[in-house]
Amino acid sequence: MHNKTLAELRTGLNNGDFSSVELTGHFLDRIKTLDKNYNSFISVTEEFALTQARQCDERLAAGDAPNLCGLPITHKDIFCTEGIRTSCGSRMLDNFVPPYNATVVENFAAAGMVVLGKTNMDEFAMGSSNETSYYGPVKNPWHSNCVPGGSSGGSAAAIAARLAPVATATDTGGSIRQPAALCGITGLKPTYGRVSRWGMIAFASSLDQGGPMARNAEDAAMLLNVMAGFDAKDSTSVERDVPDYTATLNQNIAGLTVGIPKEYFNEGLNPATEQAVRHALGELENQGAKLKEISLPHSHLSVPAYYVIAPAEASANLSRFDGARYGYRCKEPVDLHDMYMRSRAEGFGDEVKRRILVGAYCLSAGYYDAYYNKAMQVRRLIKNDFDNAFNEVDIIAGPTCPNPAFEFGAKGDNPVAMYLEDIYTIAANLAGLPAMSLPCGFIDNKPVGLQLIGNYFEEARMLNVAHRYQQSSDWHQRAPGIE
């Protein structure tokens, strides 16, 4: 059962080939047996999942089940889950049990999906390798000595290892697409405002966006149908009709113009990655798409702009974690100041502290205009580049990451080198555009990702292109050497 896609599992459930309890138990058994090799889960909700599965079987038998009823899912541990620990990969929230569900979690509960557990992640979503988690690093199922990518590395590894068919994730600067690429799965970051952020613990509020991770584009479309939609509780949510993302998956892509940014194929790109990506672009061309070179002239400024804006917003968002209200509190504080100082010093990891310090500095008096305001001006230039490009092309394609998965510790002593792993993904977050990654090859048995970037609210077009590519390739069907 674990080798079936979500769509295939839905068919099996509806046909009575297996029950939700059997399906859920199968994945729980795999997590028990195999996850010690990957550390992809922080919490496994076995009793809760089996209770949900039994209720789903009753609904399936009664004939009143929603479309995805009885199918397993796992949530990134950044989404609040009522009665289930939500740690955000941090010691600061190790004991936090929310009294409510995030809107995304609530939507999947309404759809009848069964929650297997909460997946590991970089602390407060700050990282590109899943090495900053308080609960230890996640291992890439393709190579256990390599990172799975971050910050949604737990969700990506769980799907790649066939411990879960699908998962939720979040993307602030590439945190869905980069681990999807390094683990050989499909991940999609929707347009900013397309998916509610209510109940999703904030990193950088103007950049964070929840999205689906799955084996293929069809499964991602099924999940996005549930995730997307207006939420009055989220002031950044966009009130706009949600299409059926599965309805247009099979549309012909002949005549579609695909933009190829020349800045994404520079000296920083691994030649083997470029070869795999260009081969994938050739397949789109074989299906009738037109390839057109475009320029995103300010793309080289995306990393420095991001690493001013994101830490600045993080420093503000994380100020609430002070030991006074909830989360970690130091032992025996001398006074209020001591409690604040030691709770934050002991509760946060090094990368989080680094970003808080950078962000606070960028927002401080005398430096706001020089750093944060300037970064926001660059952000507008990056958005304008995309606006100009979409006047000429229908979709943009290129590499997701410059390199395949790297070994643990390879970039730990060089934060700038780590940040450059997101060089092709960050711009979509700064512009608020939808983007996704899908498998397009391997380098030394390490997956390579093809990135697609769409215009605002054109997730359906991206999914259509991805699905058509996956119909003529088998990279997304390959799995690491796991039974």
pLDDT in tens, 239-256: 999 999 999 999 999 999
Q: Is the pLDDT of residue 174 over 70?
A: yes
Range with the poorest average pLDDT among 30-34, 57-61, 235-239, 362-366? 362-366
Q: Is the pLDDT of residue 464 over 90?
A: yes
- The Cβ of residue 108 has, within 10 Å, a number of other Cβ atoms equal to 24
Cβ pair 429, 209 in contact under 8 A: yes
SS3 sequence of the chain: CCCCCHHHHHHHHHHCCCCHHHHHHHHHHHHHHHHHHCCCEEEECHHHHHHHHHHHHHHHHHCCCCCCCCCEEEEECCECECCECCCCCCHHHCCCCCCCCCHHHHHHHHCCCEEEEEECCCHHHCCCCCCCCCCCCCCECCECCECCCCCCHHHHHHHHCCCCCCEEEEECCCCCHHHHHHHCCEEEECCCCCECCCCECCCCCCCCEEEEEECCHHHHHHHHHHHECCCCCCCCCCCCCCCCCCCCCCCCCCCCEEEEEHHHCCCCCCHHHHHHHHHHHHHHHHCCCEEEEECCCCHHHHHHHHHHHHHHHHHHHHHHCCCCCCCCCCCCCCCHHHHHHHHHHHHCCHHHHHHHHHHHHHHCCCCHHHHHHHHHHHHHHHHHHHHHHCCCCCEEEEECCCCCCCECCCCCCCHHHHHHHHCCCHHHHHHCCCEEEEEEEEECCEEEEEEEEECCCCHHHHHHHHHHHHHCCCHHHCCCCCC
Count of domains for the chain: 1
Q: What's at 214, amino acid-wise? A: A
Q: What's at 92, amino acid-wise? A: M
Mean pLDDT for the chain overall: 96
Give pLDDT, residue 190: 98
Distance CA 76, CA 151 (A): 10
CATH number at residue 340: 3.90.1300.10
Q: How confident is the model at residue 421 (pLDDT cuts 50, 70, 90)?
A: confident
pLDDT digits (tens, 9 = 90+) for 34-75: 999 999 999 999 999 999 999 999 999 999 999 999 999 999
Give pLDDT, residue 314: 97
Q: What is the mean pLDDT of residues 210-222?
A: 98
Distance CA 243, CA 269 (A): 36
Token pair, residue 117, equals 């557990």
Give pLDDT, residue 237: 97
Q: What is the mean pLDDT of residues 115-121?
A: 98
Give pLDDT, residue 416: 75
Q: How many residues does the chain have?
A: 483
Distance CA 447, CA 209 (A): 24
Token pair, residue 11, equals 């068919």
**If we measure between CA atoms, which residue out of 289, 297, 295, 282 comes closest to residue 256?**
289
Report the predicted TM-score, pTM, of the whole model to 2 decimal places: 0.96
Q: Is the pLDDT of residue 418 over 90?
A: no
Give pLDDT, residue 414: 76
Find the domain containing 45 and state its range: 1-483
Q: How confident is the model at residue 459 (pLDDT cuts 50, 70, 90)?
A: very high
Distances (CA, A) of 8 to 79, 226, 227, 384, 443: 27, 18, 20, 41, 29
Tokens 């689906």 -> residue:
212
**If we measure between CA atoms, which residue out of 380, 416, 191 comes closest to residue 298?**
380
Q: Is the pLDDT of residue 419 over 80?
A: no
Q: Is the pLDDT of residue 417 over 80?
A: no
Q: What is the mean pLDDT of residues 135-162?
A: 97
Give pLDDT, residue 444: 95
Q: How confident is the model at residue 483 (pLDDT cuts 50, 70, 90)?
A: low
Distance CA 102, CA 9 (A): 26
Where in the sequence numbering do the catalytic residues fall?
A: 76, 151, 175
Cβ pair 132, 351 in contact under 8 A: yes
Q: Is the pLDDT of residue 341 over 90?
A: yes
Cβ pair 80, 125 in contact under 8 A: no
Q: Is the pLDDT of residue 413 over 80?
A: no
